[in-house]
Amino acid sequence: MWLTGRLFDPERGFVRGRLRVEGQVILDRVEEDRAPGEDYILPGFTDLHFHGCAGADASDGTPEALARLADYQLSRGVTQICPAVMTLPRAGLSAACRAAAHHAAHAQARGAELVGLNLEGPFLAPEKRGAQRVDWLQRPDLGLLAELAAASGGLVKLVTVAPELEGALDFIRGARALCRVSVGHTAADYDTALAAFAVGAEQVTHLFNAMPPFHHRRPGVIGAVADSPGVACELIADGVHVHPAAVRAAFRLLGPERVILISDSMRAAGLGDGTYDLGGQAVTVENGRATGPDGALAGSCVDLMECLRRAVSFGVPLAHAVTAAAVNPARALGIYDRFGSLDRGRAANLAILDGDLTLKAVVFRGEVVHGAL
């Protein structure tokens, strides 16, 4: 099958040309100034921080829930997923990890490719817990992380930690052998955040949310990120969690190569307003805004494709937004050699958008699985 239109290129934005898909891979890519068509041909996105959608949540700890959210994500052009587990008691964390291992072991599992699991909790600061249950938070515990990594069959790819907690720096040093470490849900000051990056943390969990704001005398995590070129930052561009001006500022401050767009969606995504469970707490969704019992924002109700559209509506160039939704998360998870690029030999997982950025078709493992070309 040949696809024609505007092909995404991480260095040059978009180039006109044709893409040849054969079997499950991209077989050829031909640039051609006069290639017809206004469609944007993008590598399928990777969402590395979302909890649920379509009524299911990774924290449910069942293979059925994973199948459901994988299906929904694929229908939105998110062809690779790394769902995030909330703060739960040990047994709940363990069940979520086992469910992921079970899902991955079934070759015929439907939906987006499960490329990892993200442990957002439980090693978080109580005062910056957001919508996570305070009584289930724990001190950083390398033994628990190793246990969960084993239960997941090696699928745990990310863990969030608040670096000011007792033992956090040693935890980061040890955790690096198991997965990538992200700093978040934290009240850390500038120096503590820098110390976390110095011992191996490489990412920040939803920049701006669940951390102190940037202050000119107390620059905090945001100031530390500005001084740490190797650190990538997750960003929720739903227009609810982060103001459009702050989304633009983040892209300018970090450059498009350091922003990872995430949806941080909860199970209401794809459904309507109502009351839902999130990590053992009731969450109310009103006009697409989810809040927990104490009024804290509790995840988003949109998918990553919609976050991309909103980022573009805020003024982020489309190519930068695609870099942040397709390239950077794949790099962060160490899967960029297979996903997130239109280069020859990469997986034929694609999202085709028309000129208005409406999702026209999703190609997964070389086949059109949603929409039509």
Positive or negative, the Cα torsion across 42, 234, 149, 280?
Answer: negative
Bridge partners, residue 25, by sequence = 22, 347
Q: How far apart are alpha carbons 68 and 71 in whole angstroms?
A: 5
Residues 6+ apart with CB under 8 A from 164: 125, 186, 187, 188, 189, 192
Please indicate whether residue 294 is annotated as part of the active site: no
| Catalytic option among 264, 277, 303, 356 | 264
Q: How far apart are alpha carbons 110 and 244 in whole angstroms?
A: 35
Is 301:71 a contact under the CB 8 Å cutoff? no
Looking at the annotation, which residues are catalytic? 264
